[in-house]
């Protein structure tokens, strides 16, 4: 029996999962994304080249691995086509790329409703990526969604688009300045999408189960977003509309929980958030600016500047426990170079209480950080690949975080390149 490993984000997303998945994927036969869509942005760098992906798994750079977009995902066919064209231009093989017939399709109305709704929310806006994610998952839950498998039967697909269009015209008429493109144009576009996508469509869930059961293969389940924007366990309503946890990996990839052996939690050595919502350790000062600049903290998907802050231990402990991580991979340690002291929130304060844990009983909006300070380092550590070459202050920072979180930090990344990683076990 083969085994599956899950890699998930432990913060608000953008933890550097793309690079880690790319590094890990060498050891795996299958890399599968299980939730989310083109709201995710993964950056992978090697041999002096940088690739930015939104939909396609970061394992695509391993030519021997199958890369699957599984049933829990929401697929924007236009975005998918753009990504495969770009990869082909750069000589990256897409031969082993497949999309689940069960995945849902992002329709033009989803993007229109996403933008119109967030604008109408005003002060309560979530600050979505505008990629149609929420409205697509809402249609899935309402059981009116259009699935990827329908692209294989254009007649049935056309009928489905026609009756959905009528429904969506009514919904969109509720918003000012929002308008659907003509039905005939959507149907035409979808005929093209059907041609472009049909050869990629498969029962990926069945293939993954067979790969484990009969072929003793290894599967890497690639999380998108981060546990703090998980629909059930994150900072609701400032969350995405799908599951971003290890438990969600099984549902979204069609695997039983018994298939999972390792669970890697990926966390940045500080913390960032894009979009609105509470952020206890946010820095609206020069240090926040330095982190943004040195860490190139601008959204891969939308280009928005990311909000930056100090590492938050109660948050990391909560997400490490929630995901049941077997090891943490700490990324972007190099970005902290030159900053001293480095602060870490070890607990929250609310009114007169000290709270060691994150809880919905104490809204994060009302919590303030209780900081411990650590001495920083000046020596550049970008691309350092062995523990012994790290300055003692950097080693201590990692060791103290490990103690505070209570989970092993099994690797530390020191730069965007594939080789900039230090293994600790």
Q: Which residues bind ligand IMP (CB under 6 A)?
A: 12-14, 39-41, 126-129, 131, 133-134, 224-225, 229, 238, 240-241, 274-275
* Residue 309: both structure tokens together: 């802050």
| Minimum distance from residue 129 beta carbon to ligand IMP (Å) | 3
| 316 contacts 8 by C-beta, under 8 angstroms | no
Q: What is the CA radius of gyration of the chain?
A: 22
Is 29 an annotated catalytic residue? no
Nearer to ligand IMP, 18 or 77 (CB): 18
* Residue 3: both structure tokens together: 């085994």
Nearer to ligand IMP, 43 or 326 (CB): 43
- Torsion angle of alpha carbons 67, 71, 73, 77, nearest 10°? 80
Nearer to ligand IMP, 232 or 399 (CB): 232
Q: Is 325 helix (H, G, I), strand (E, B) or coil?
A: coil
Q: Which residues pair with 4 in a beta bridge?
A: 219, 260
Nearer to ligand IMP, 2 or 41 (CB): 41
**Residue nearest to ligand IMP according to CB distances in the complex:** 275
Out of 42, 104, 160, 193, which one is annotated catalytic? 42
Q: How far is CA 126 from the centre of its chain?
A: 17
Nearer to ligand IMP, 146 or 227 (CB): 227
| Minimum distance from residue 111 beta carbon to ligand IMP (Å) | 10
| Minimum distance from residue 237 beta carbon to ligand IMP (Å) | 9
Q: If you search the block for the tokens 């429904």, which residue do you land on?
A: 167
Nearer to ligand IMP, 229 or 342 (CB): 229
| 347 contacts 288 by C-beta, under 8 angstroms | no
Q: If you search the block for the tokens 């890990």, which residue do you land on?
A: 24
Give the DSSP letter string of 22-84.
HHHHTT-SEEEE-SB-TT--EEEEETTEEEEESSS-GGGGSTTSEEEE-TTBEE-HHHHHHHH
Distance from C-alpha of 24 to C-alpha of 7, rounded to nearest angstrom: 10
Q: C-alpha angle with apex 420: 419 to 424, nearest 5 degrees?
A: 100
Nearer to ligand IMP, 218 or 307 (CB): 307
Phi, psi of 203 (to 5 degrees): -90, 80
Q: Which residues pair with 355 in a beta bridge?
A: 348
Q: At what angle do helices 392-405 and 313-323 cross, to 10 degrees?
A: 60
| 311 contacts 345 by C-beta, under 8 angstroms | yes
Q: Which residues contact 242 (CB under 8 A, 6 or more apart)?
A: 35, 36, 72, 74, 133, 137, 225, 230, 231, 248, 252
| Minimum distance from residue 43 beta carbon to ligand IMP (Å) | 11
Distance from C-alpha of 139 to C-alpha of 171, rounded to nearest angstrom: 12
| Minimum distance from residue 54 beta carbon to ligand IMP (Å) | 9
Nearer to ligand IMP, 2 or 248 (CB): 248
| 233 contacts 9 by C-beta, under 8 angstroms | no
Is 104 an annotated catalytic residue? no
Out of 14, 118, 334, 417, which one is annotated catalytic? 14
Q: C-alpha angle with apex 358: 121 to 264, nearest 5 degrees?
A: 95
Q: Which of 6, 25, 14 is nearest to 268 (CA)?
A: 14
| Active centre residues (catalytic) | 14, 42
């Amino acid at each position: 029996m083969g085994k599956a490993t899950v890699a998930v984000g432990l913060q608000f997303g953008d933890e550097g999962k793309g690079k880690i998945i790319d590094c890990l994927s060498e050891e795996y036969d299958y890399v599968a994304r299980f939730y989310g869509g083109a709201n995710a942005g993964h950056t992978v760098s090697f041999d002096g080249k940088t690739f930015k992906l939104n939909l396609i798994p970061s394992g695509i750079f391993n030519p021997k691995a199958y890369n699957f977009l599984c049933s829990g995902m929401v697929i924007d066919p236009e975005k998918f086509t753009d990504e495969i064209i770009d990869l082909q231009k750069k000589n990256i093989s897409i031969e082993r790329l497949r999309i689940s017939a069960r995945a849902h399709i992002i329709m033009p109305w989803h993007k229109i409703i996403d933008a119109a709704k967030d604008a109408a929310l005003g002060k309560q806006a979530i600050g979505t990526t505008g990629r149609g994610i929420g409205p697509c998952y809402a249609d899935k839950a309402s059981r009116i969604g259009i699935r990827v498998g329908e692209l294989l039967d254009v007649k049935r697909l056309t009928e489905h688009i026609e009756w959905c269009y009528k429904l969506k015209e009514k919904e969109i008429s509720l918003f000012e300045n929002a308008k659907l493109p003509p039905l005939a144009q959507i149907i035409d576009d979808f005929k093209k999408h059907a041609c472009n996508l049909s050869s990629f469509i498969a029962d990926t869930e069945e293939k993954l189960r067979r790969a484990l059961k009969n072929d003793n293969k290894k599967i890497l389940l690639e999380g998108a977003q981060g546990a703090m924007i998980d629909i059930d366990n994150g900072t609701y309503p400032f969350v995405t509309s799908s599951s971003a946890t290890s438990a969600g990996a099984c549902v979204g990839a069609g695997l039983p929980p018994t298939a999972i052996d390792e669970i890697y939690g990926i966390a940045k050595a500080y913390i960032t958030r894009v979009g609105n919502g509470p952020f206890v350790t946010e820095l609206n000062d020069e240090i926040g600016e330095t982190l943004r600049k040195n860490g190139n903290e601008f959204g891969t998907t939308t280009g928005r500047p990311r909000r930056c802050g100090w590492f938050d231990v109660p948050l990391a402990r909560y997400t490490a426990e929630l995901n049941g991580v077997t090891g943490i991979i700490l990324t972007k340690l190099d970005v902290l170079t030159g900053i001293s002291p480095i602060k870490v929130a070890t607990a929250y304060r609310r009114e007169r209480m000290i709270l060691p844990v994150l809880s919905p009983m104490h809204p994060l909006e009302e919590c303030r950080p209780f900081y411990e300070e650590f001495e920083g380092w000046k020596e550049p550590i970008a691309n350092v690949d062995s523990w012994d070459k790290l300055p003692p202050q950097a080693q201590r920072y990692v060791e103290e975080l490990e103690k505070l979180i209570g989970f092993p930090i099994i690797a530390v990344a020191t730069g965007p390149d594939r080789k900039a990683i230090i293994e600790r076990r």
